[in-house]
Amino acid sequence: MEHLIGHTRNNIPIFVDLIGSDAAKHIAQQPYILTLATEALQHAMLDGADINLEQDMGRTIGYDYVVETTDANTVFYAQLAREDIYTRFVKNGEPRATRHLSIALSFNQSDNLYNLSDVWVGRLRPPRPGSTKESAKGNSYWRKHAFVFENQPLQLRTLTKTCPY
């Protein structure tokens, strides 16, 4: 189910799949980010295939749950419910207030339009190791960063303190 969320500064329509996309998961948890995405995209000039952008919204819009870690942190790995890649978590971490919204857009050549593939409150970050778009730079990033654990639904049989990647 594709839903029009708005147009960019150069009048390109942006759609989102509110059921099957990664963006849908984040929108379901925080519905206001759909409005924030619409606002941010009004200022964007799009050109190219897949685009990742970070927008400073000019005000605090929520909390960034990905934080930098040190050797003093308690870190563990697990797969989230309905996912097959591991996520790095930190216990007792503190999310930080942020003004940034990150947006991932994919270009659909057959329809000549952009789809909002993901959106989240916080800084732009690379894909997690094990994902289809993982990279060496991303793997390096995730060795030093983790999601703050706040009772996210985990597949308990996958819980480990040993890095799986």
Count of beta carbons in the 10 Å neighbourhood of residue 150: 9
> Average of pLDDT values for 133-155?
94
User: What range defines the domain where residue 46 resides?
Assistant: 2-160
Phi, psi (5° rounding) for residue 28?
-65, -35
- In this predicted structure, the answer to whether residue 1 has a pLDDT above a threshold of 80 is no
Distance CA 124, CA 107 (A): 19
Considering the domain boundaries, does residue 165 fall inside one?
no
Calculate what percentage of the chain has a pLDDT beyond 90. 82
Considering the domain boundaries, does residue 74 fall inside one?
yes
Question: Into how many domains does the chain fold?
Answer: 1
Rounded to 5°, the CA angle 33-7-28 comes to 25
Considering the domain boundaries, does residue 63 fall inside one?
yes
- For the stretch 5-58, pLDDT in tens is 999 998 989 999 999 999 999 999 999 999 999 999 999 988 888 899 999 999
- For the stretch 55-70, pLDDT in tens is 999 999 999 999 999 9
**Nearest to residue 106, comparing CAs of 30, 6, 22?**
22
Considering the domain boundaries, does residue 106 fall inside one?
yes
Q: Contact, 121 vs 63, CB < 8 A?
A: yes
Residue 164: predicted pLDDT: 93
Considering the domain boundaries, does residue 82 fall inside one?
yes
pTM more than 0.85:
yes
Considering the domain boundaries, does residue 143 fall inside one?
yes
Distance CA 38, CA 143 (A): 32
Considering the domain boundaries, does residue 50 fall inside one?
yes
Residue 133: predicted pLDDT: 87
> Average of pLDDT values for 120-139?
93
**Can you point out the beta strands (E) in 24-153?**
51-56, 62-64, 66-68, 75-80, 86-90, 96-98, 100-108, 113-121, 145-148
Considering the domain boundaries, does residue 19 fall inside one?
yes
Distance CA 119, CA 6 (A): 14
